[in-house]
Each structure stands twice: as structure tokens, then as C-alpha cells.
Structure 1
Amino acid sequence: MRRDEHTLHFLLDSMDRAAQRETVSVQDILHEIGDRSITPLILIVALLLVSPLSGIPGVSTLAALTIIILAVQAVRGKRSLWLPSFLLRREIPGKRLSGCVGYLRGPCAFVDRQCRPRLQYLTTGPMRFLTLLMVAVIPIGWPFMEVLPMMSSIGALTVALLVFGLFTRDGLFVLLGYLCVAVTLSAGFWLLLSTR
């Protein structure tokens, strides 16, 4: 990938091109970004779940399944991705995808401006492996949160931070992702203890 492809702007433009169709499948998005790397697709799925799409019934479950499958492949060191055909055929209206891309443009432009190579030891070697493992584990609970609209967006934001850090070799975003994990776990334990 060229350096300009390591930006959220590039990924959003790829989704926007796919959104010109009346309906857009996962395969269409893959065609736009290419299947040379797994992390960009994990990032796209996580970003879409941060958007209002997470309020649609079933989307959180499909996103969780997609991220888990991709993250496991990344943990195993695969360079090109594989998804089952039923996921590749999943479609959403092009207008809805375009609206989500528009919703994400401002925040993503801000994040791109803050990004630069730093703390790179957090994005390579054992830390990369550990982070990808975390990315595979976080979505496991999302299907159970379908009854709470937008709740999976918090987990998706965490995944997006972790994967964006790996994608851009910016360890600060990986750290922010782990901070989100720590805050979420702490809040969960506090709620568990307070209900006793």
C-alpha cells in the first residue's frame, strides 16, 4: 500500500465509490479497497458500526462475525482475506452507505490529521499479535447487545482505534484502544458489584 492508502480518508473514498450502486455488497467494498490486507476491512466494518448503522437489527451480529473471522485470519498471519459467501453477498442500500460515509467524514478527517508514526513497538511483533487477538475477542458480546441500540458502537470504536493504530503504525491509537478496553471493563465490574 502507498502511504496515502494508510488513511481513513482513503477508506471512506473507497466506500463512497462503492456506494454509487443502488445496493452495495461486502464484495463490492472489497473490490474497491482490494483484498491485499485484512486490517483495512476490519477498520471499515468497525467504522460502519460506529455510525448510525449500528441501530439496524442484525448489523451488530454480522459485523461481529465478520470482524472475528478477519481478526483470526490476521492472528494466523494470513495476508489475503477470506469471508464466507453469505457474508460477501450481504447488501445495504447505496444511499444509506453514502450517508454513513458522510457522517464519518468530519471525525475521520480530524483523526487523520493527528496520525503519524510513533510508539511503533506497539504495532509490531508480539504487541501486534496481542492487539489482533483482542480485536477478535471484543466483538463476541455484540450479538447480545442487539437489544440495546448503539451499545455495540462503543466496542466498535475500541476495535477501530486498535486497528487504526496497527494500520497506520501509530501506537498512540493502540494505547487509546487499550484505554477504552480498561474503562469498559472497569465500568462493567462496577455495575456488576453495584447490583449485588
Structure 2
Amino acid sequence: MLRMLRPDDDDDFVSLRTILSHVGDRSFTTVILLTALVLVSPISAIPGLPSTGMLVIVGVASQYLVGRDHLWLPAFVLNRQVQRSKLERAIEFLHGPMGWIDRRTKARLSLLTRRPIKWLIVLTIIATALPWPLLEPLPMVTSIGATAVSLLAIGLVTRDGLFVVLGFAFIGAMGTAVFQLWERVW
């Protein structure tokens, strides 16, 4: 999957349109996963990228929920570009974690990756991504939510319900930490 993200040799900047042309316009969960994985990497510190990632993830997930056959995104999102060198660093960063995940995923607890539970997972992905523009001023904080989205999306892409469970557990732990912090501050 990471090979699909690789930019062409002559490109100094890579648009989301180019990346999606490599991935395909029917792979809703793959696009969600790739977007979340990019935001887990240090590239998420680039101003505007977490907001763009949220738009992509929410847009793609919403289209899945309404039953679209093909992915559609507005031109201003598709034309958003990132430097080739930064994208390549993000891809290199992701090779280690993705290799680890690749060796550990298999079809298990697959009931958790089918409808109607799949719709709940996609709604959870939307709810997790929506606050990212507000969190963007805090460098790398969106990477925490992107990790949860990545775990859920890995579960959907590979039909491995264990990763769905891990994604919900991560969100639960994140929510508990935020709630405890909130109680201490107020």
C-alpha cells in the first residue's frame, strides 16, 4: 500500500489527486487508512495538513455511509500538495510500523468488520477526525487521533476485528485521559 503513495520521479510536489489516482477511487477504507497513516507520521506538523486530512477522512467516510460507488472530493482538497521529500520521509517512517502490522494481521473476529458494525466504525472515524482542525495549533496532537483512526481502518481493510478492538480501546484510553485531565483542571 505504501508503494502506491510513492510520487513519480519528476514531481517536486505531489497532490492528493495524484495519490488517489494511484490508490483508486473505490477504495474508501484504503483512502481513510492512507490519510490517517500520513497524519500519524511527523508530516502532520505541517500547517493545514491535519485540517486537510480531516476533510478527506470525513468526506470519504460520509460518502461510504451514503452508499456511493466512487469517491468524490472537491478540487481544492484534491489540488492540495505536499513536498515530495516530506512525503517520502513520511513513507519511510511508516515502513517500520506497517511491516509490523502486515505481519500480524489476518482474518479474525471478522464479524466486527461487517455491516452494521462497520457503519458504527465509520461513524467513530468521523467523530474522531472532526476536532483535528481545532487541535492543529498543537503540533503532532492530531497524530494521537490519527493512530486511533489508523487502527480502525486497518481492521476494516484487512478484515481483522482485533485491530477494530484495539482502535476502540485506544479511543477509550484517550477519552479517559482527557476526562481525567478535564477533572483536574476544573
Structure 1 residues 26-175: aligned runs within 5 Å: 26-175=16-165
Q: 2:9 & 2:151 partners in 1: Cα distance? A: 24
* 3-state SS in 2 of match to 1:24: strand
Say whether the 8 Å CA contact 1:122–1:171 is kept in structure 2: yes
TM-score, structure 2 as length reference: 0.96
Say whether the 8 Å CA contact 1:138–1:155 is kept in structure 2: yes
Say whether the 8 Å CA contact 2:7–2:84 is kept in structure 1: no
Structure 1 19/174 Cα, relative in aligned 2: closer, same or farther at 3 Å? farther
What percent identity do the matched residue pairs reach? Answer: 40
2:153 partner amino acid:
V
Post-superposition CA distance 1:107-137 (Å, at most 9, x none) = 1100000000000010001110100011111
* 3-state SS in 2 of match to 1:125: coil
Q: List 4+ stretches of structure 1 deviating above 3 A.
A: 17-20
Kindly state the Cα deviation for residue 77 of structure 1 after the two structures are TM-superposed: 2.2
Kindly state the Cα deviation for residue 15 of structure 1 after the two structures are TM-superposed: 0.6
* Match of residue 183, structure 1, among 165, 173, 177: 173
Post-superposition CA distance 1:32-91 (Å, at most 9, x none) = 111122111111110000011111111111111111111111112223111001011111
Q: 2:73 & 2:132 partners in 1: Cα distance? A: 19
Q: Which moved more, 1:42-51 or 1:16-25?
A: 16-25
Q: 2:160 & 2:53 partners in 1: Cα distance? A: 24
Task: State the superposition RMSD in angstroms.
Answer: 1.2
Say whether the 8 Å CA contact 1:19–1:95 is kept in structure 2: no
Between the two proteins, the alignment pairs up a number of residues equal to 186
Q: 1:79 & 1:120 partners in 2: Cα distance? A: 23
Structure 1 portions without partners, runs of 5+: 1-10
